[in-house]
Structure 1
C-alpha cells in the first residue's frame, strides 16, 4: 500500500477551513492508502486543546509537533510561533518521511513550502526540480495554474474542491507512467526556466519597472 504524508499546521480537531479541509482529504485518502499527518499542536477554532502527540483517527496516523504559543497579536510573537512550528514539523518529517513517498504540503503556515523544499534537498524530494508532477491547488487564472497547464506537468484543482483533490491524488498514484512523463517535463522546465538565478533576475527587473 502506497504511503502519503500530509504536512499542515492545522488538522483535526481544528474546524476552520484549512484544518477541516485537510482532515477530510486525509480521511478520504485513508480508504485506499496509508496516510500519515504531521501537524502542529492541536487546536479548535485556533484555540489550543489537549490531544495526544500521536493518535489514529479513521485510519489516519496523526503526529503532533509542539511549538511556541506566544500572543499572535504581537508581531514578533507570530514570527517566533511561525518559525518554531515549522521547524518542529520539519524535524519530524526528516525523521519519518522516506524517499519515494508522496508528500502533500499546504501553504499554512507560509514556511511549510520551504520545509518541503528542504526535504527535497536533504532527501531528494519533490516538485519540479526533483522530476515530480505537480498537483496545484490554485485558481484557474493563477500563474501557477498557467505554468502547470501550459507545460503539461501536472493537474489543477480548484481551492475548496476536496473531492477533486482526493480524486486527483488517487489518479496520480494509480498512473505512475504518466507521473514519470510529467516529472521528466517538470525537471526540464525547472532547470531551464525557474532556477534561483532566473527568479532573482526577474525580481530585479520587476523592481526596476516599478
Structure 2
C-alpha cells in the first residue's frame, strides 16, 4: 500500500482548491495519507521561496488571475482577499495534528473545513471558536483545540524539518513513498496516474 505524505499550510489557497481530490485518489488506490501541516513562511525562508507580500507585482498579478480560474475549474467558491488572511496558522495546524493522533473523525474533512473557513467563509482560523467548530463538524472532540497544544507545537516544528529534508518547497506538496513528489493541486491528476503505474 502506497503512503502519501501531504505537506500543506492551512493558509494556502492552493491547498484549499485541492478540495477532496487527494482523499478520493488515496481511496481509489488504498493509499495511506499522513497529513503534515507546516509553517509555510518558514518553509519559504528555508527553501528559497518568497512570501506573497514580498513577491514582484508581476507574480502577484498572475496569482490574482490564476486563483479565480482554478476556483472556477474546481467549482469552488473563493474569496481572493479573505478578511482574515494572513493569520496565525499554528492553532489550526495544532488541532489537525491532534486530530490525526487521536483519530475517530474525518481528518480530510477537518483539513478542508479549516481551509474553507479561511478562503470561502471569511472566518479567522486562528480563533479558538472557529477551530472548535471545524473539529466538531468533522466528528472530532472540539476540546482537541486545547489539549493538543504541546504535541501539536512539537510536531508542527518537526513537519517543517521533514519537509526540508524531503525537498518540499511549497504547498500543497505530495510525497509518495515511491520517491516521487508532486507540487500543487494541479498535479493531483499526475499523482493519480503515478499510483496507477502510468507515470
Report if TM-score (shorter chain) is over 0.5. no
- TM-score, with normalisation over the residues of structure 2? 0.34
Structure whose residues are more often helix by fraction: 2
Structure whose residues are more often strand by fraction: 1
- TM-score, with normalisation over the residues of structure 1? 0.33
